[in-house]
Amino acid sequence: MPRAKRRLAQHFLTDPGILGRIADAVDPDPGDTVLEIGPGPGGLTSALVERVGRLVAIEKDSELIPGLRARFPGAEIVEGDALDLDWHSLAGPSFLVAGNIPYNITSPLIDKALEPPRPARIVFLVQKEVADRISAPPGGSEYGALSIGVRAVARAERLFVVPAGAFKPRPKVDSAVLRLTPLAAPLISDAERGRFRRLVVGLFGFRRKQLQRGIRELTGWDPEPARSTLERAGLDPAARPETVPPEGYVRLLAALVDAGWNGR
């Protein structure tokens, strides 16, 4: 087992039972291409490589590359930063994504995975708190801008928890397997994703305030146009941001744009 590097936020998972369950969650067909992010010493790679038609793995740690290439001659081991590389040029037009990803770049990697054209399925081992937030229902403290942004384009499932003790070295928190399945018909168009994000993040900046007050702060509008815009979107002006489902934010964006908001 190679020594994990703190600067790369490495925590290696070697339990074959857990790794097999993660591969089951990816659920590849024999002819599928899987893009693995951060194979490390190759635990998940070993669980996947016999199940797929093609496996492409991106590893940033140059010291791990020779061992991975020797152990998995049938896989394509690419040295580089997964945030910088073009996944489609590596894996082709249709692929699945999997990985035990570093906690410190979880959100950027999820964002990249959900950029169009999207993979058919994404399975990441992430910090349990992040998986809970993404999959949380409206109305609770865990539900927020991250939940809405992801679920506007994908179905999110927190499948199972992986305890901290399963990793070497042991992290300070538990992890969970998160599966994202991009929607055939996303709630928000790709062209509107930027404006949608500004709206959602902006309103959650006033999380403790009623929606009408949040809209006024976000747009600079007077109370009456803020209230009437919310009502046209079918939302209660007195509701708070954490009670609104993703579909409600989609309707609100449309109503705001119709009323002249430019999203800046």
Mean pLDDT, residues 23-50 taken together: 96
In whole angstroms, how far apart are CA 57 and each of 38, 48, 75, 80, 183?
7, 11, 7, 10, 25
- How much is the pTM? 0.94
Distance, in Å, from the CA atom of 109 to the CA atom of 59, rounded to the nearest integer, reads 14
CATH number 3.40.50 is the correct assignment for the domain at 190-258: no
% of the chain surpassing 90 pLDDT:
89
Contacts 24+ apart (CB under 8 A), 109-116: 109/37, 109/82, 109/83, 110/134, 110/150, 110/180, 112/82, 112/83, 112/87, 113/87, 113/180, 114/150, 114/153, 114/154, 114/180, 114/182, 116/190
Band of pLDDT at residue 67, cut at 50, 70 and 90: very high
Residue 49 has pLDDT above 70, yes or no: yes
Tokens of 198: 């500004």
Distance, in Å, from the CA atom of 42 to the CA atom of 25, rounded to the nearest integer, reads 17
Contacts of 131 (CB under 8 A, 6+ apart): 158, 175, 176, 177, 178
User: What pLDDT, on the 0 to 100 scale, is given for residue 169?
Assistant: 86
Supply the DSSP symbol for 171. Answer: P
User: What pLDDT, on the 0 to 100 scale, is given for residue 3?
Assistant: 63
Partners of 162 in beta bridges:
175
Residue 233 has pLDDT above 70, yes or no: yes
User: What pLDDT, on the 0 to 100 scale, is given for residue 207?
Assistant: 86
Residue 196 has pLDDT above 70, yes or no: yes
CATH of the structural domain 6-182, one choice from 3.20.19.10, 3.40.50.150, 3.30.70.100, 3.40.50.2300: 3.40.50.150
Mean pLDDT, residues 171-195 taken together: 96
User: What pLDDT, on the 0 to 100 scale, is given for residue 2?
Assistant: 65
Sequence spans of domains, the chain: 6-182, 190-258
Residue 11 has pLDDT above 90, yes or no: no
